[in-house]
Amino acid sequence: MSLLPIHLLGDPILREETIPVTEFTDELRTLVDDMFETMYAASGIGLAAPQVGRRERLAVVDVEGAKYAIINPEIVLAEGKARAEEACLSFPDVYGTVERATRVIVQAQDVNGTPFEVEATDLLARCFQHEIDHLHGKLFIDYLSYLKRRAALAEWEELRKQYTGNIRHLKPGAPELVDPEHPEAGM
Per-residue b or e along 126-163, where b marks 16 or more CB atoms closer than 10 Å to that residue's CB: bbbbbbbbbbeeebbbebbeeeebeebeeebeeebeee
Q: How far is CA 145 from CA 32, 96, 127, 132, 141, in A?
A: 34, 10, 21, 21, 9
CB of 51 vs Ni ion, minimal distance in Å: 6
Question: Which residues are designated catalytic?
Answer: 131
Q: What is the dihedral of CA 113, 119, 123, 125, to 10 degrees?
A: 70
Residue with nearest beta carbon to Ni ion? 88
Quick one: which of 17, 116, 103 has its CA closest to 69? 116
Number of residues lying near Ni ion (CB under 5 A): 2
Helices (H) and strands (E) in the chain, counts: 3, 9
Residue 187, Cβ neighbours under 10 Å: how many? 28
Q: Between 4 and 187, whose beta carbon lies closer to Ni ion?
A: 187
Task: Give least dist CB 143 to Ni ion, A.
Answer: 12
Instruction: Spell out the alpha helix ranges (H) of 42-143.
Output: 122-134
Does the footprint of Ni ion cover residue 63 (CB under 5 A)?
no
Question: Which range binds Ni ion by CB under 5 A, 23-31, 67-75, 118-126, 179-187?
Answer: 179-187
Q: What is the DSSP letter of 172?
A: S
Would you say 71 or 139 has its CB closer to Ni ion?
A: 139
Q: How far is the CB of 94 from Ni ion (least distance, A)?
A: 10
Cβ distance to Ni ion smaller for residue 104 or 187: 187
CB of 134 to Ni ion, least distance (A): 6
The answer to whether 88 contacts Ni ion (rule: CB under 5 A) is yes
**Window of 14-22, 82-90, 118-126, 144-152 that interacts with Ni ion by CB under 5 A:** 82-90
Q: Which is nearer to Ni ion, 53 or 113 (CB)?
A: 53
Binding site for Ni ion (CB under 5 A): 88, 187
